[in-house]
Structure 1
């Protein structure tokens, strides 16, 4: 842990780092490939919508049922002719979902399930769910998403600048697309919990991006008044300076979500936890990735197109070519900075011999002083 803390301090002070901006086209390519796979998965497999969006019936059996989940699933599919989702609740009862059926079919399936499970028909509770309720939730979610994205772009354009707003918007769309695509590939059921999780991850995704942007804004203040670093080099330092913080916050957020997804949903069989935990898990990981590898490099690309930044780059490169910058032996990604964007003096390793002063001892009588 102490080594990690030392690494974080060195990254923050610019004494170590990785050149994210230089390799940005690699990260762009990786993101494009992942996005294409997500879109293909969404187009080929589609989303497995829950009964809240399709309509159907939910059958609940008494407590402490001896029948297994697989057996109940077979009974329900045989009785209805539709795919069924069966979950075993904490009290031992079974929750059986069958989508796309009406009231008459619900009564017939209920009687058939009672015979197969050796129960009285009155012991099974049947509830019909209309598709209009799920459709209303989906419409409200899309409206909320649109309003959220609009407000985010407006806020970032005012607090920072429009280029950062565009980069953050692209990163958010990137995160949403990947999350929805993985849902399609995995085949998890989409429920209102999924929609809630999808909307929740937007805040986490935006948090890491804003942290890097805030650091970048501070370090690029009066950037054209110096000739040591280009905008891309300072953007790279901002990523490195906040890297450990972003990783730590993401890992801390992922641990409980991973517990819900893999332990609660996978090991313990609480399938309802998968609805929200998968979207949170994928979204958190994608958000941390996009803030480092997509948003900030994209801002650097947009800024470097400005005439002022092009002129700055020419001056910086010209100064280095003529040996006017003492940082030429120190890569910009690992050079030290202070708050004024000037390079810190290189650290001295080992003992250093100070030259003796030529005037030392002059005019002073030898022997002891009285």
Structure 2
């Protein structure tokens, strides 16, 4: 067995582990700081909206030796507007100019043909009206709202409302960070960006649901024992699925990183940048939030319940009494029995009572 596999097995058995729940205030503080930074970036810098949302024209030239900076000056002089120029992998240029109508675009294309020394018929022009972008934005917001509602309903039924709330907070956290990164980096927000943002919602929930499922199973009959608090079991659930979460996240990030750094950076493919950046940031944020935000938040919400709060008092009192006697209380070390035994012992106890 590999070292990573051995570590995963030991984490699953509870032999080793990290106190994620006990240090939750650190993670909360870090997430709040990142979120505030993202919101400030959005407030100050805003988003660089593509022509799909503000309207304009996109000109695609044949292969040319003209540099990006020089082409930017040509486009600005020809149109009177700021232009965004990208060098594509085949040596051609993608020139984006906002605020152009059809009549003006024909004139700009003719001037670009002269400046770039290419035939005007070889320059492809695409005109986009702002109303189309409004429709895309409206549909995206509608899809996001429907998705959020369905997620809350499903998790509330499959698990419980506290887990649904925690998952919703984690989703909002991931989206805010992703959009904030877009604002800081200055990447253009296009239809590809919207597709990427909607795609990461499912990935963001994946690890969260895995941990929640483990937590649900291990907390069956938890109030019938005095060895572990709810936070103890939640902590073991995170540790037990930690290696799996890391493996799935790394495997998902590798091809996305290829799209972002090779496809977008080397080949200069603009659409790949738009989709891959949102996917890369969203996947990383989703893995982080499932471990450091969603599960600790569930533990905080659950330990407000009277029964779980009373359980915590009993467990802590038992540990304090054991400490006063100089003994190690059960459940304090990771090497003790699995929390899943809680549910098994409770079920065996009920079966014995029925047989008696």
Same fold, TM-score > 0.5, yes or no: yes
Distance 1:40 1:338, change over 3 A: closer
Counterparts of 1:258 and 1:91, CA distance in 2: 21
Q: What does residue 159 of structure 2 align with?
A: 160
Counterparts of 1:123 and 1:233, CA distance in 2: 67
Does the aligned pair in 1 maintain the 2:68–2:86 contact within 8 Å?
yes
Name the stretch that deviates more: 36-45 or 82-91. 82-91
Does the aligned pair in 2 maintain the 1:35–1:178 contact within 8 Å?
yes
User: Aligned pair count?
Assistant: 343
Determine whether 1:335 maps to 2:341: no
Secondary structure of 1:21's counterpart equals coil
Q: 1:86, CA displacement in angstroms?
A: 2.0
Counterparts of 2:2 and 2:135, CA distance in 1: 52
Q: What does residue 228 of structure 1 align with?
A: 227
Q: 1:207, CA displacement in angstroms?
A: 0.5
Name the stretch that deviates more: 117-126 or 154-163. 117-126
Does the aligned pair in 2 maintain the 1:58–1:126 contact within 8 Å?
yes
1:249-328 map, 5 Å? 249-323=248-322, 328=329
Determine whether 1:21 maps to 2:21: yes
1:346-361 map, 5 Å? none
Counterparts of 1:102 and 1:29, CA distance in 2: 48
Q: What does residue 30 of structure 1 align with?
A: 30
Counterparts of 1:41 and 1:25, CA distance in 2: 24
Name the stretch that deviates more: 24-33 or 86-95. 86-95
Distance 1:327 1:207, change over 3 A: farther
Counterparts of 1:100 and 1:243, CA distance in 2: 49
Q: What does residue 39 of structure 2 align with?
A: 39
Counterparts of 2:302 and 2:331, CA distance in 1: 24
Distance 1:108 1:247, change over 3 A: same
Counterparts of 1:122 and 1:342, CA distance in 2: 74
Q: Which runs of 5+ in 1 are unaligned?
A: 345-370
Determine whether 1:213 maps to 2:204: no
Q: What does residue 194 of structure 2 align with?
A: 195
Q: 1:5, CA displacement in angstroms?
A: 1.1
Q: What does residue 56 of structure 2 align with?
A: 56
Counterparts of 2:234 and 2:175, CA distance in 1: 25
Q: 1:146, CA displacement in angstroms?
A: 0.3
Deviations 1:254-289 (A, max 9, x none): 011111111111123223211000000000000000
Q: 1:90, CA displacement in angstroms?
A: 4.1
Name the stretch that deviates more: 64-73 or 40-49. 64-73
Does the aligned pair in 2 maintain the 1:19–1:333 contact within 8 Å?
no
Q: What does residue 12 of structure 1 align with?
A: 12
Q: What does residue 351 of structure 1 align with?
A: none
Q: 1:333, CA displacement in angstroms?
A: 4.6
Q: 1:341, CA displacement in angstroms?
A: 2.6
Distance 1:300 1:332, change over 3 A: farther
Counterparts of 1:25 and 1:166, CA distance in 2: 18
Does the aligned pair in 2 maintain the 1:327–1:335 contact within 8 Å?
no
Q: What does residue 349 of structure 2 align with?
A: none
Does the aligned pair in 1 maintain the 2:319–2:330 contact within 8 Å?
no
TM-score (normalised: structure 1):
0.88
Q: What does residue 95 of structure 2 align with?
A: 96
Which structure is higher in helix share?
2
Counterparts of 1:102 and 1:23, CA distance in 2: 56
- RMSD of Structure 2 on Structure 1 (CA): 2.0
1:228-247 map, 5 Å? 228-247=227-246
Does the aligned pair in 1 maintain the 2:222–2:343 contact within 8 Å?
no
Determine whether 1:184 maps to 2:183: yes
Counterparts of 2:142 and 2:321, CA distance in 1: 57
Q: 1:108, CA displacement in angstroms?
A: 2.1
Name the stretch that deviates more: 317-326 or 122-131. 317-326
Q: What does residue 350 of structure 1 align with?
A: none
Q: 1:306, CA displacement in angstroms?
A: 0.6
Determine whether 1:119 maps to 2:84: no
Structure of larger gyration radius: 1
Secondary structure of 1:98's counterpart equals strand
Name the stretch that deviates more: 164-173 or 258-267. 258-267
Does the aligned pair in 2 maintain the 1:335–1:343 contact within 8 Å?
no
Q: 1:91, CA displacement in angstroms?
A: 3.9
